[in-house]
Structure 1
C-alpha cells in the first residue's frame, strides 16, 4: 500500500478548526477597488516625494494598507511605493519622520519592514536601508511596535 499519511488533511474532520477568515475582519473593499486605490496612492506619493514631503508621502502610503486575500497586486504595488520612500530618505531625516507618524502608522511601517526583510534581493531594496529604518522605528515606538506587527493577523 503506497499511501502517504502526511498528505491527508486531518483538519477537514475537525469541527473546532480555526479558519483564516475567522481571525480578522476582511478588507471591506472590492479587490479591484483596492488595486485602484493603490495606484492612486502611488501617484500621490510620487508627487509628495517630488515636493520633498517625506512625512506626507509615508503617511499616504501607510494609511489604508491593503490586507487580506485576493489583493496581492495591490500589496505589491503598495510595497513598491513604500520602498521608493524608504530609499529616497536620508538617514539623518529618518528619526524625525518616524517620530511624526501616529502609532498605527508606525505599526504598519514595521509590518512592511519585516515584509521587505522576508524578500531578499527584492528590487532596489537594500538590507542596510531596512535595518536603519527598523532601528530608528524601534527607538521611537519601542519594542511593543515589533510585538504588534508580529501578532497582527492582517498581513500587508
Structure 2
C-alpha cells in the first residue's frame, strides 16, 4: 500500500449515528463561543439528550456569551493507543426557560463536577454534525528512504 493509501485508510469519516454514539459515551467536551472578535473555549461536562447536548452553568461569562451570540461549536474527543476520534457539533445554544424543561433536565444524569451551584441548563441543538476516527499508525518515513 502506498503512503498516500495508508494515510487515506487512517482517517474514517463518521456518520451522524456514529457521532451520537461517540458523544453519548463521554461526559466532557469543549464549548467554543464567539462575541465580536473574542473567541473563548470552555471545558464543560454534558449529557446527550435525544439529538441535542445539555450542560449546566452558573451565572458568568459563559452564560453571558451565549446570550450575546447563541452560535456555538462543541467538540468531544477520546483516544486509546490504537485509535482516536473527534466529533464537532455546530449549533445553537439556548438556556432552558420553562419549569417543565428544567424539571425534565433535572432527571438527567448531569451533575456539576466541582462543588458549585449551577442553576442554568443550556441545550445545544445541532445544525451540523461531523466526526472523524483515526487509526493511530506509525509515522511514515519523512525522508523517502526505506529501511530494512
Q: TM-score when scaled to structure 2?
A: 0.30
Q: TM-score when scaled to structure 1?
A: 0.29
Q: Larger relative contact order (C-alpha < 8 A, sep ≥ 6)?
A: 2
Of Structure 1 and Structure 2, the greater helix share is in: 1
